[in-house]
Amino acid sequence: MTASLTVRDEHWPLASAFVIARGAKTEAHVLVVEISQDGAIGRGEAVPYGRYGQTMDGEVARVEALRGAIEGGLSRQALQDLAPAGAARNAVDCALWDLEAKLSGVPAWKHAGRPRLDPVKTCYTISLDTPEAMAQAARMAARRPFLKLKIGGADDLDRVIAVRAAAPKARLVVDANEGLEFEDLKRLAGDFARLDVKMIEQPLKAEEDGALEGYESPVVLCADESLHTRADLAVCARRYGAVNVKLDKAGGLTEALMVVAQARALGLQVMAGCMVATSLSMAPAMIIAQGADVVDLDGPLLLARDRKPGLVFDGALIHPTPVELWG
Domain ranges within the chain, ordered by starting residue: 4-110, 120-318
Is 186 among the catalytic positions?
no
Q: 15-47 burial, b if ≥16 CB within 10 A, otherwise e?
A: eeebbbbeeeeeebebbbbbbbbeebebbbbbb
Task: Give the Cα separation of 145 and 288 in Å (integer).
Answer: 20
What sign for the dihedral angle of Cα 100, 48, 290, 125?
negative
Report the relative pairing of strands 146-150 and 124-126 from DSSP bridges: parallel
List the 197-201 sheet strands across, edge first. Answer: 124-126, 146-150, 171-175, 197-201, 220-223, 242-245, 269-272, 294-295
The helix/strand/coil state of 173 is strand
pLDDT in tens, the chain (327 residues): 689 999 999 999 998 878 787 777 899 999 999 999 999 999 999 999 999 999 999 999 999 999 999 999 999 999 999 999 999 999 999 999 999 999 999 999 999 999 999 999 999 999 999 999 999 999 999 899 999 999 988 899 999 999 999 999 999 999 999 999 999 999 999 999 999 999 999 999 999 999 999 999 999 999 999 999 999 999 999 999 999 999 999 999 999 999 999 999 999 999 999 999 999 999 999 999 999 999 999 999 999 999 999 999 999 999 999 999 999
Element (H, E) at 105: none
Is 25 among the catalytic positions?
no
Report the relative pairing of strands 313-314 and 269-272 from DSSP bridges: unpaired
CATH of 120-318 among 3.40.50.300, 3.10.20.810, 3.40.50.720, 3.20.20.120: 3.20.20.120
What's the confidence (pLDDT) of residue 25?
84
Report the relative pairing of strands 294-295 and 313-314 from DSSP bridges: unpaired
Domain 4-110, second-level architecture = 2-Layer Sandwich (3.30)
Burial class (CB in 10 A: 0-12, 13-18, 19+), 168: exposed
What's the confidence (pLDDT) of residue 1?
64
In the chain the beta strands, taken as DSSP E runs, fall at: 4-20, 23-37, 40-46, 120-121, 124-126, 146-150, 171-175, 197-201, 220-223, 242-245, 269-272, 294-295, 313-314, 317-318
Task: Give the Cα separation of 209 and 206 in Å (integer).
Answer: 5
From the candidates 102, 121, 148, 150, give the one annotated as an active-site residue: 150
Task: Give the Cα separation of 42 and 51 in Å (integer).
Answer: 28
Domains 4-110 and 120-318 share a fold: no
Q: Which of 295, 137, 169 is nearest to 222 (CA)?
A: 295
Q: What angle do CA 206, 280, 202 make, to 5 degrees?
A: 15
| Phi, psi dihedrals of residue 168, rounded to the nearest 5° | -65, -20
Report the amino acid identity of residue 107: P
The answer, yes or no, to whether the previous bond of 309 is cis (omega within 30 of 0) is yes
| Phi, psi dihedrals of residue 174, rounded to the nearest 5° | -110, 130
What's the confidence (pLDDT) of residue 88?
98
The helix/strand/coil state of 32 is strand
From the candidates 121, 198, 246, 249, give the one annotated as an active-site residue: 246
